[in-house]
Structure 1
Amino acid sequence: MKCYDDHELQAAAWRKLNSHYPKLVEPRVAAAPDSPVSCPVEYFPQHFHERSLSPWRYELVPKKDHFPSTYAEARCLCLGCILIQNKSQPMESHDYNSSPVIQKKVFLKKEPCRDGKKYYLKRVTVDVAVGCTCLRAKITPQ
């Protein structure tokens, strides 16, 4: 494993990420993690992540000592799923559940070398929600 000075580390991380690992496309818009979440039944708009029967938004997640140091993660906006039946108004149905779609994403983690002055990059894989989908609600037998 190669050790890097602090000033070399970021460039080395991006070189490795760009040449060895497939890149997930990051969404352009992300919401603040502490902003309110609501199911947008009344809007049912044009953007594909909002038009879904299980809409979502993206939130930026910090990841200290990792490259990249932030990433966007999907957060489902509804507990149920939006249904449109017989040309009626859209409504949220709890007969179905909104569930995150998970994809593995590669990060490089900054780890100290034995000399305590330099760092090496350790490959780590993290499950990241990239969208949401609609599933039938689980029914537990009684």
Structure 2
Amino acid sequence: MEHCNNYEENGKLRGARQAYEKTTPIVLAEQLKNDAGRRKRNAEMSCPESAVAHDGDISQRAISPWAWELDVDVNRYPTEIAKAKCLCTACLVNGVQDYNYFSEPIYSQMKVLRRSKCDRKGRWRYEVAWEDVPVGCTCATPKS
């Protein structure tokens, strides 16, 4: 017989909330959600035409810059995760994109809980899963 839980009754979720509270993708997700202006700016960002010295975040000073996007999945806990999106196809070398090098996402595996319907009474089953979360971008040579 399957073990079904209501969302509020699930002990895995109570423990997960505490474990996830301070992880970077979750902290950034909260910031993106609460800062509509920043989210709008990040959504509109594209690859800079030239590398410009910034005093800001490393995501904008890198030769492989990235922006943060809010990923929402109601069948995952946590439902909101910030994910990095590379802004350029190539890397910024000497102020311009150099297509001898490519901008590639860097992934970190994050433990999440996936929910699926368990019965007709509106209860769910939660199972541990691993999700690859892009956390930044780096410059790489082409694959041979």
TM-score range, shorter chain: 0.7 to 0.9
**Which of 54, 63, 67 is matched with 1:45 structurally?**
54
Q: Which residue of 1 aligns with 2:134?
A: 129
Say which SS state the counterpart of residue 94 (structure 1) adopts: strand
Maintained 8 Å contact 1:94/1:137: no
Scaled by the length of structure 2, what TM-score is found? 0.74
Q: Which residue of 2 aligns with 1:110?
A: 115
Residues 131/106 of structure 1: CA separation in 2 closer, same or farther (3 Å cut): same
Task: Within 5 Å, give how 1:73-92 maps onto structure 2.
Answer: 73-84=83-94, 90-92=95-97
Cα separation, 1, equivalents of 2:58 and 2:138: 12
Count the aligned residue pairs: 132
Q: Which residue of 2 aligns with 1:25?
A: 24
Q: Which residue of 2 aligns with 1:16?
A: 16
Task: Within 5 Å, give how 1:60-75 maps onto structure 2.
Answer: 60-75=70-85
Maintained 8 Å contact 2:115/2:126: yes
Maintained 8 Å contact 1:81/1:94: yes
Cα separation, 2, equivalents of 1:44 and 1:78: 17
Shift of 1:125: 0.9
* CA RMSD across the alignment: 3.0
Q: Which residue of 2 aligns with 1:87?
A: none
Shift of 1:49: 1.1
Structure 1 gap segments, 5+ residues each: 85-89
Letter in 1 for 2:90: G
Shift of 1:69: 0.6
Of stretches 42-51 and 68-77 in structure 1, the one that deviates more from structure 2 is: 42-51
Q: Which residue of 2 aligns with 1:101?
A: 106
Say which SS state the counterpart of residue 137 (structure 1) adopts: coil
Structure 2 gap segments, 5+ residues each: 33-37
Say which SS state the counterpart of residue 35 (structure 1) adopts: helix
Scaled by the length of structure 1, what TM-score is found? 0.75
Residues 79-114 of structure 1: CA deviation (Å, up to 9, x unaligned): 111113xxxxx1111110000001111111222335
